[in-house]
Amino acid sequence: FADPDTTVTVSGPLTFCSDASVTLTAAAGQSYVWSNGAATQSINVSQPGTYSATVASVNGCIGNTALYTTSLYADPDTSVTVSGSLDFCSYEDVTLTAASGQSYLWSNGDTSQSVTVNMAGAYYAVVITADGCVDSTSVYSTTIFPDADISVAASGALDFCSYEDVTLTAAAGQSYLWNTGDTSQSITSTQAGSYSFIATTINGCVDTSAVYSTTIFADADTSVAVSQTLFCASDSAILTAAPGQSYLWNNGDTTQVSIVNTTGDYFVTATTTNGCFANSDTIAITVVPDVVLPQIISNGLGWVASGSSTSFTITTDTNQTYQWNVGGGVITSGQGTDSLLVTWGIPDTGVTVWLVVSNGVCTDSTSISLVISGIGFSDRDLIDAKLYPNPTDGYFTVEIPEQFIGAQMSIIDGVGRVLEHVIIRDVKTAIDLRARPKGAYRIQIKSNLGVKTLPIIIQ
């Protein structure tokens, strides 16, 4: 009989990768017993080893195939070295490094041994050995932590008045380090400066905020110039605030200058163009009543005799002081009192008695004019001087000699006050005193020849 056919067909290399195999196929038309126990014509081998088959022909003849030894290539090294945490901040990254000595194709398309990842995602590599064996690494999933929130809420404007402030509040849920050294969520600024902070999340991600600069506006100028603080009721004080602002005085004035004339405390609220305001110091104003001038009463009725004495009286006020002054006479007694006695000197002289009144702050004066009579017109001249009618209702005529035309005529009331002066321009001069109160008056005629006073009664 013919020998069994011991040929074997091998489907591929006897050395292969661990995920591959080789098929050994004996010649057809026989029966088979393989060394691994299989009784099929073909066996598929995926493990290293030595394989053969005992084949038997239909006539019962037996033969053995050759020995076929298989081996496996080394598997790819799918280990990966990770440089740090797979969960990191947006400004960080992680490097994935595959085992060396192979070729690589990463899931992001990179073909280098290492890839540096700075985004969230799933990363792996297909590695290929020199023998062509292929495998994939594990999947490495990266996560990006949320960034630190560096937003700031300001409680108001960053430019403010010296008596104001602004609070800067960082976003919640983080830790903080301000450039001032403060570690709280909020800081309050009361002065000019620059402020920023470093925020750190619970995952350790860090960021620095913008710089917030504060400015302090200039204070309002509360200086006030005061013309005077103690004055008489007929006077006033001028209060002048610093320029370039708006104003509200406590008396209601809204101008830079306030004129006051009543006793009280005054101040101004000055407001700058930036809205900063402040009150000035209080200015105490004291207004003293004006002096009350008394009426000087004289017993001389407008004329006095040379060498005689005349008394002058006033009604005094205990809050005032009095200083008498006399021209043409000598004060005999009563200086500073309510009753003055004066002795007269040179005759035919017009004189004045005046009184200076003071209350310690305010001063005023009053006076009375008189004439010292003595040598005057001659008796012959007097005979021709007429004044009629006398008594009168106030309308009367003064008649003088022609040589006295151009003389001055004065009308004097009963207390010695000169009411008016008239230049005599005719022999007869009409005088109308009907508007004057009833009483005793004097008509004084004065020329270079002397002075003469004539009495008249208005009734």
Task: Give the residue from 50, 142, 37 showing the smallest Cα distance to 87.
Answer: 142
Give the residue extent of every domain in the chain. Answer: 8-72, 80-144, 152-217, 224-288, 296-373, 386-458
302: confidence class by pLDDT, cuts 50, 70, 90: low
Q: What pLDDT shows up at residue 64?
A: 96
**192-225 as b/e: b if 16+ CB within 10 A:** eeebbbbbebeeebbbebeebebebbeebebebe
Assign domain 296-373 to its CATH superfamily. Answer: Immunoglobulins (2.60.40.10)
Average pLDDT, the chain: 91
Q: Which of 279-293, 352-366, 401-415 has the lowest mean pLDDT?
A: 401-415
3 state SS of 243: coil
- Do 296-373 and 386-458 share a fold? yes
Closest CA relative to residue 452, chosen from 370, 352, 382? 382
Answer for the pair 174, 201: CB distance below 8 angstroms, yes or no: yes
Q: What is the pLDDT of residues 111-158, one digit of tens each?
A: 999 999 999 999 999 999 999 999 999 999 999 999 999 999 999 999
- Taking only the tens place, the pLDDT of each residue in 395-426 is 999 998 888 888 888 888 766 678 888 888 89
- Architecture of the CATH domain 386-458: Sandwich (2.60)
State pLDDT tens for residues 257-279: 999 999 999 999 999 999 999 99
Report pLDDT for 75. Answer: 95
Residue 296: C-alpha distances to residues 259, 340, 351, 356, 373 (Å): 35, 10, 15, 12, 20
Pairwise CA distance, residues 22 & 41, whole Å: 14
Q: How confident is the model at residue 376 (pLDDT cuts 50, 70, 90)?
A: very low
Reported as type and span, the H/E element at residue 379 is helix 379-384
Separation of alpha carbons 319 and 321, rounded Å = 7
pLDDT class of 300 with cuts at 50, 70, 90? low
**Does residue 76 have a cis bond before it (omega within 30 degrees)?**
no
Answer whether residue 340 shows pLDDT above 50.
yes
Best CA proximity match to 445, nearest among 414, 415, 401: 401
